[in-house]
Chain A
Amino acid sequence: MSVPDVPARSAGVIHDLGFRHYDGPRLGRRQVVRALFVESTRGAYGLGRSTRSKIMPFLLLAAVTLPALVVAVVLNVTGTASLGIGYAAYPISVLPLLSLYVAGQAPALVSRDLRFRVVTLYFSRPLRREDYVRAKLAALACATAVLTCLPVLVLYAGALLAQLPFWAQTRAAAVGLLGCLLLSMLLAGIALVIAAVTPRRGLGVAAVITVLVMLTAVQGILQALGQDQGNAGLEHWSGLLSPFTLVSGLQRWAFDAPLEDLPDPPGALGGWVYLAVALAVLAGSYALLVLRSRRVSVS
């Protein structure tokens, strides 16, 4: 529509800022679950959240790794022939710190969602309850795995630098890492179930810590009692009570890991029982979490 005799002026435009519809791609279930998983894992270290939520995780990460660093440095400086501490034994030595971590992060991952019924917003979307549980479990397990594996890797690096025998160290480190992974999964499962049933976040932290400390204490007492009374059964079955000793027991049975002070699955079946219990705990945590998520009503 040109008007020939009118001098050209720059045309004014008003853009439409109304609601825009979305015709772009919509990602499928797998990617959605992965997005939830990634976000939850990052959240377990306070990434993508406030600065305050980064303090504890990173502090604990430093606290857990520092001794390993020291050992690695000392090893290289003094030139001794072996690491003072075995890869498999390391998690137990920092047991309290690991417990603190899962106790702090599990409630952050689920109590809030369940208590504030944020899950309503999740479940009214194409996200299944099972998907939600899997993503949260995997997230806490991975986050804890970082905490448990990093020191092991630091020790391993130190050992290699100190030129300790390669294959022996690698094998031992591999056993240690496997144990760390299993331990992370067990801790994640136990902590999430407890957090999912405690109504408040503060209570959740306390409950997880209490349970883990209690399990460790009882296991220790029974083990000591067994040793005192010469009751090998008591001493070695006691390992089933705490996730830490469950894992170390499996490492002793399957790989002969050097964990002399810790329970050893007795008899021919002991190892299989330990394995069964570990799997039961994993499966049980998953099932309980799914059950708990079903109890939240969407409307």
Chain B
Amino acid sequence: MTVITTRGLTKRYGPVTALDDLSVDLAPGVVGLVGANGAGKSTLIKILLGLLPPTSGTVEVLGLDAVAEGEAVRARVGYMPEHDCLPADVSATELVVHMARISGLPPTAARERTADVLRHVGLYEERYRLIGGYSTGMRQRVKLAQALVHDPDLVLLDEPTNGLDPAGRDDMLGLVRRIGADFGISVLVTSHLLGELERVCDAVVVVDGGRLLRSSSTADATAQRSVLAVEVDARTGELAAALRAAGLQVDGDRVLEVALRGAGPADEPAYDLVRDAVAHLGIGLLRMERRRHSISELFRPAEEAPGVRA
């Protein structure tokens, strides 16, 4: 069961190709979209919302044909734009209630759901003040609230952490996670920051120059590698020598990289060898952990990246 399905989705504006034969299946949960440059991303969003017909190819959102049934799609989807889109002279409550009404909610439901959703996004007394005086973090929350108020089945979040400082970023990512996990709403989130996506997404779609580069679950993209990173506080060279003498393959300088056999942890001699060598040398073990792959590797050719479908 996919939330979004595209087949051969192409969009050209004269000589410029924004999307090029894009075929993806996005499962329910939190999916990250990364890498698309400005034109490709905004084009894709417009097409998903049924506001722009593609040059060729098909696109299905929540089982509906986005081209033919655009209005029905927009009724079930919430959208949080990246750009500024909030009026300055109304309060958060007024805006979200109004947008709830435009989504078709009757007045009482609009008011009640607005109050609830503003609580969920973390706006308390501020909700009665005019939006003009809000900080970036509060504005992002209002944008998110209006996307959620009508209980959509899918939300499109366009760079939700844009302009937020690290604490605000953390909060927003936590919210995105909750929307996917607790609220039971599927999420498509775009971001340029791979670390964020690794934290929050179940799957990641990498688009480059309008074409699909890679599509993978986050678990696969961040799977453990067969390398053990070891960091000690002194005599690193001697440790490396001792481990090599014991038959291990060791690379690295300040942080040693010990090759693992790739067998299960019970059969892996490296762990005990490292432990004992460190204890024997009387040095401090600052870190010992298996390295993981990262999403940034998806930007490189297929042979180097682990377990993904191209």
Known: A112-B89, A120-B81. A27 touches B41 (CB 8 A): no
Stretch at the interface among B94-102, B211-219, B278-286: B94-102
- Going nearest first, the 10 A-B pairs with the smallest beta carbon separation are A22-B151, A26-B104, A299-B45, A299-B42, A19-B183, A124-B79, A126-B71, A27-B104, A126-B75, A35-B101
Stretch at the interface among B8-16, B22-30, B105-113, B296-304: B105-113
Q: Is B127 an interface residue (CB 8 A)?
A: no
**A53 contact set on B, CB distance < 8 A:** 89
A/B pair count, beta carbons within 8 Å:
114
Chain A interface size band reads 35 or more
Give A30 Cβ to nearest chain B Cβ, in Å.
Answer: 11
**B151 contact set on A, CB distance < 8 A:** 20-22
Partner of A121, one of B42, B99, B109: B99
Per-residue CB proximity of A21-55 to B under 8 Å, as 1/0? 11011111101100110010000000011100100
Contact A125 B103 (CB under 8 A): yes
Contact A120 B75 (CB under 8 A): no
Known: A21-B184, A116-B87, A116-B88. A121 touches B101 (CB 8 A): no
C-alpha spacing A29/B113, complex, angstroms: 20
Q: Is A18 an interface residue (CB 8 A)?
A: yes
Give B229 Cβ to nearest chain A Cβ, in Å.
Answer: 39
Give A199 Cβ to nearest chain B Cβ, in Å.
Answer: 14
C-alpha spacing A260/B158, complex, angstroms: 62
Partner of A116, one of B49, B79, B84: B84
**A117 contact set on B, CB distance < 8 A:** 81, 83-85
Closest residue of chain B to A18 (Cβ to Cβ) is B182
Contact A125 B120 (CB under 8 A): no
Contact B87 A112 (CB under 8 A): yes
**A298 contact set on B, CB distance < 8 A:** 45-46, 49, 51, 79, 81
20 contacts between A and B (CB under 8 A): A18-B183, A22-B113, A22-B150, A24-B106, A26-B103, A26-B104, A32-B102, A50-B89, A53-B89, A113-B87, A116-B88, A117-B85, A121-B85, A123-B51, A124-B74, A124-B81, A125-B74, A126-B103, A299-B49, A299-B82
Partner of B85, one of A18, A39, A120: A120
Contact B85 A116 (CB under 8 A): yes
Q: Is B146 an interface residue (CB 8 A)?
A: yes
Enumerate chain A interface residues (CB-CB to B < 8 A).
Answer: 18-22, 24-29, 31-32, 35-36, 39, 48-50, 53, 112-113, 116-118, 120-128, 297-299
Known: A117-B85, A124-B49, A125-B102. A20 touches B116 (CB 8 A): yes
Give A194 Cβ to nearest chain B Cβ, in Å.
Answer: 20
Per-residue CB proximity of B104-131 to A under 8 Å, as 1/0? 1110010001001100100000000000
Give B103 Cβ to nearest chain A Cβ, in Å.
Answer: 5
Per-residue CB proximity of B124-154 to A under 8 Å, as 1/0? 0000000000000000000000101011000
With an 8 Å Cβ cutoff, the count of chain B residues facing the other chain is: 46
**A25 contact set on B, CB distance < 8 A:** 106
**B248 contact set on A, CB distance < 8 A:** none
**A112 contact set on B, CB distance < 8 A:** 87-89
C-alpha spacing A267/B46, complex, angstroms: 53
Q: Is B90 an interface residue (CB 8 A)?
A: yes
**B113 contact set on A, CB distance < 8 A:** 20, 22
Q: Is B234 an interface residue (CB 8 A)?
A: no
Residues of B46-100 at the interface with A, using a CB-CB cut-off of 8 Å, are 46, 49, 51, 71-72, 74-75, 77, 79, 81-90, 94, 98-99
Contact B102 A36 (CB under 8 A): yes
Contact B42 A297 (CB under 8 A): yes
Q: A18-B182, A24-B109 are in contact. List 11 more A-B contacts (CB 8 A).
A: A19-B120, A20-B151, A22-B105, A26-B103, A116-B84, A121-B79, A124-B79, A126-B103, A127-B102, A298-B45, A298-B79
Known: A124-B74, A299-B46. A28 touches B104 (CB 8 A): yes
